[in-house]
């Protein structure tokens, strides 16, 4: 028989009391609110394989010129005969943003949502308000040369140590390049000695590329150096993987270079490719000025309009439609932002032969989904706004 007053027994009795109290507390505590049970989702079918060559997106335009993408994924394009700037949505719809411009050329969207347009006929840059769509003068430039006015502009410099902030502006008639403050009030000359600079871009290392219709593509880092010699370069863009693309009017082509200036490929037989752009997945877009068309070349993957169905429980199932280039087989990831009014109930990732799926419960009329490539560190990705209700 164990002595009930022993230290061992006292400690055992205390421990049993604590355990019993804990069990009793668990019995009377309110049960946690059950989370929604996700529906059994199946991956949605993949879209058809993307065309191997160039695909016509728009036709019968008066004179399409420069291109760029805005933050919502719309393709902005100017038309120098119509005097308009318009947006092409992922669903193929076209929305005019503004009109009445005199030869609208280069276009760039600033981080604050304003759209800057080079108005060649008035040798100035105008800013378009994203809400009211009102147009105001952002900065005017002097032109006493008798030559055509300012051409391509941009991009905006965001986080480059050598040139923080501002917008690159090639001063076409005067053969100069400026870095202009975001309010348009202050201009700093960063390049000179060019024939007719008409387009610019910047790579991940801060090198500024300038397309010069005199036959050269220059880099400013910060000294001016010749990157390539080409027949009448008109614009230049840099891909997320570091390739440099230049459209040339002298040979009706688009040239692709690596970061060291070695040519990788060339697309020829294009009727005056006045505009060129890359989307977030490095797919190539260009205009054919003389035929009034805009083309796309899917180099990785593209998104068509998704399908949306509403379930009996008041939730929405979203089916993305991913179209892969034939040689693109990298894994893709589906994601979406969430808010207090949106709950993600189910998510199926895309496969090489599927587009994934998403089930949400929300009071919002739209959600945004994103598709990104996994691996290689090039940050290839596309996003689109999905309208849940008509």
* pLDDT reported for residue 29: 32
- Rounded Cα distance, 95 and 335, in Å: 27
DSSP code per residue over 285-297: EEEETTTTEEEEE
Burial (CB count <10 Å: 0-12, 13-18, 19+), residue 182:
middle
Q: Distance between CA 55 and CA 67 in Å, rounded?
A: 16
| 176-180 and 167-171 strand pairing | antiparallel
Query: How confident is the model at residue 7, as a pLDDT?
Result: 34
* Cβ-contact 371, 350 below 8 angstroms: yes
What is the predicted pLDDT for the residue at 287? Answer: 98
Q: What confidence score (pLDDT) does residue 25 get?
A: 31
Measured CA to CA, the distance from residue 253 to residue 84 in angstroms comes to 25
Q: Do 353 and 322 form a contact (C-beta atoms < 8 A)?
A: no
Kind of pairing, strands 316-324 and 284-288? unpaired
pLDDT tens digit at each of 390 positions of the chain: 334 344 333 333 333 333 333 333 332 333 333 344 445 899 999 999 999 999 999 999 999 999 999 988 999 999 999 999 999 998 889 999 999 999 999 999 999 999 999 999 999 999 999 899 999 999 999 999 999 999 999 899 875 544 567 999 999 999 999 999 999 999 999 999 999 999 999 998 889 999 999 999 999 988 999 999 999 999 999 999 899 999 999 999 999 999 999 999 999 999 999 999 999 999 999 999 999 999 999 999 999 999 999 987 779 999 999 999 999 999 999 999 767 778 999 999 999 999 999 999 998 899 999 999 998 888 999 999 999 987
How far apart, in Å, are the Cα atoms of 320 and each of 168, 299, 308, 350, 362? 36, 19, 9, 9, 18
Residue 102 Cα to chain centre, angstroms: 27
Structure confidence at residue 218 (pLDDT): 98
């Amino acid at each position: 028989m164990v002595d009930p007053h022993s230290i061992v027994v006292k400690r055992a009795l205390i421990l049993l009391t604590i355990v019993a109290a804990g069990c009793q507390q668990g019995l009377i505590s309110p049960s946690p609110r059950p989370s929604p049970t996700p529906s059994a989702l199946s991956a949605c079918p993949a879209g058809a394989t993307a065309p191997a060559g160039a695909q016509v997106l728009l036709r019968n335009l008066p004179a399409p010129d420069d291109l760029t993408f805005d933050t919502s994924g719309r393709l902005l394009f100017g038309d120098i005969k119509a005097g308009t700037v318009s947006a092409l949505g992922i669903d193929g719809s076209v929305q005019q943003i503004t009109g009445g411009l005199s030869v609208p050329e280069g276009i760039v969207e600033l981080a604050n949502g304003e759209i800057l347009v080079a108005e060649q006929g008035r040798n100035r840059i105008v800013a378009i308000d994203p809400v009211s769509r009102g147009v105001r003068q952002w900065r005017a430039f002097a032109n006493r040369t008798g030559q055509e006015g300012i051409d391509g502009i941009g991009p905006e410099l965001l986080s480059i140590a050598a040139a923080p902030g501002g917008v690159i502006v090639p001063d076409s008639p005067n053969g100069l390049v400026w870095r202009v403050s975001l309010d348009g009030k202050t201009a700093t000359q960063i390049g000179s000695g060019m024939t007719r600079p008409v387009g610019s871009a910047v790579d991940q290392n801060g090198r500024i590329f300038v397309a010069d219709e005199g036959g050269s593509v220059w880099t400013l880092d910060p000294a001016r150096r010749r990157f390539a010699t080409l027949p009448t370069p008109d614009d230049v863009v840099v891909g997320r993987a570091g390739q440099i693309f230049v459209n040339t009017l002298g040979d009706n082509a688009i040239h692709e270079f690596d970061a060291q200036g070695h040519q990788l490929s060339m697309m020829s037989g294009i009727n005056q490719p006045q505009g060129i752009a890359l989307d977030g997945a490095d797919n190539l877009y260009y205009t054919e000025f003389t035929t009034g068309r805009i083309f796309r070349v899917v180099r990785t993957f593209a998104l068509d309009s998704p399908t949306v169905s509403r379930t009996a429980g008041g939730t929405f199932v979203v089916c993305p439609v991913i179209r892969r280039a034939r040689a693109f087989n990298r894994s893709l990831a589906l994601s979406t932002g969430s808010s207090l009014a949106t709950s993600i109930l189910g998510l199926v990732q895309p496969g090489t032969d599927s587009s994934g799926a998403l089930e949400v419960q929300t009071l919002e009329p739209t959600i945004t989904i994103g598709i990104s490539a996994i691996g290689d560190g090039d940050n290839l990705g596309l996003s689109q706004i999905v309208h849940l209700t008509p």
